[in-house]
Structure 1
Amino acid sequence: MTEAAPAQPRHPQLAVSAAIFRDDRFLLVRRARAPAKGLYSLPGGRVEFGESLDQAVIREVAEETGLSIEIVGFAGRREVLPSPVGAAGHYVIMVFAARWAAGEPQLNDELDDARWIGPDELAAFSTTEGLAELIAGARAMVGT
């Protein structure tokens, strides 16, 4: 007997991510699991009940990459809607601009690659939709 896949939530899931800058480069990570498996994006994940957005992004970055960050500010949002050929869930992702504070990337099982790249290198990667615009906005906030 096969197990049925878990039912998708019937409401949007709130998530956070961080555009982390270290000097003039930012951290690009590749997702090892759905949603966005195989695409490069920013580290982050779901907000837990009772957790502030700042707490969530600091926790998610630490869990996924082992990095400590300093949040600069809110850089933008992205919404992923369910579709027959794409995402199975509905996500609202709050994106923050941040500066690297400490650590070197130590990936958990949600990611399978991490690279510090310059913004001009982004076009060479298969990324989640709208990533270039979010990086540009975050870069302006951080001042690199």
Structure 2
Amino acid sequence: MTQELLTDAPNAASVALVRDGKVLLIKRAYAPYQHLWTLPGGRLEPDETIEQCAIREIAEEIGVTIRNPRPVMVQSLGRDLAFRLAVFVTTDFTGKIIASDEVADHKWVEPTALISFRTTSRLDDVLAKAFAVLAQS
């Protein structure tokens, strides 16, 4: 894990699942970020590492098992910047997408198509960094 992730003490995680050059976006069903397209993820639970949070949240939200989440960045979100979101990327996942009630919709999207979606703030920058991490491997 990078030093950036260790010092920022993230309290939430999201994951860019990438397949064939496309990323899985979900449309949030509830606040915060209701009706916005974003990456799946959620809040850290007590006694869990941020990687465990990422793995659990993906399983809970979309029914997919991820492996080898690679750190991308940490960003502060929310009106009072209360969320310190650790973003991960992986191409290593299995299972059929079965969206929870937290997810209004989901789509595989080419990053260049983001302009046609109402997304969370700076999602294009986040995805550019995620794809850069993948390109380093």
Per the TM superposition, whether the score is higher than 0.5 is yes
**Aligned-CA RMSD value:** 2.0
Preserved CA contact (<8 Å) 1:80 1:91 = yes
Where does residue 69 of structure 1 map in the other structure? 66
Preserved CA contact (<8 Å) 1:36 1:128 = yes
Q: 1:78 aligns with which of 75, 78, 95?
A: 75
Where does residue 126 of structure 1 map in the other structure? 118
- What count of residue pairs does the alignment treat as equivalent? 128
User: Deviating runs (4+, > 6 A) in structure 1?
Assistant: none
Gaps of 5+ in 2: 1-8
Cα distance change on mapping 1:38 and 1:64 into 2, 3 Å: same
Provide TM-score, normalisation by structure 2.
Answer: 0.86
Gaps of 5+ in 1: 1-11, 84-88
Between Structure 1 and Structure 2, the one with more helix by share is 2
Give, in angstroms, the shift of residue 127 of structure 1. Answer: 0.3
The more displaced of 54-63 and 69-78 is 69-78
Preserved CA contact (<8 Å) 1:21 1:142 = no
Where does residue 4 of structure 2 map in the other structure? none
Q: Which amino acid aligns with 1:92?
A: R
Q: Is 1:60 the counterpart of 2:28 in the alignment?
A: no
Larger Rg: 1
Identity of matched residues, %: 34
Counterpart secondary structure, 2:31: coil
Provide TM-score, normalisation by structure 1.
Answer: 0.82
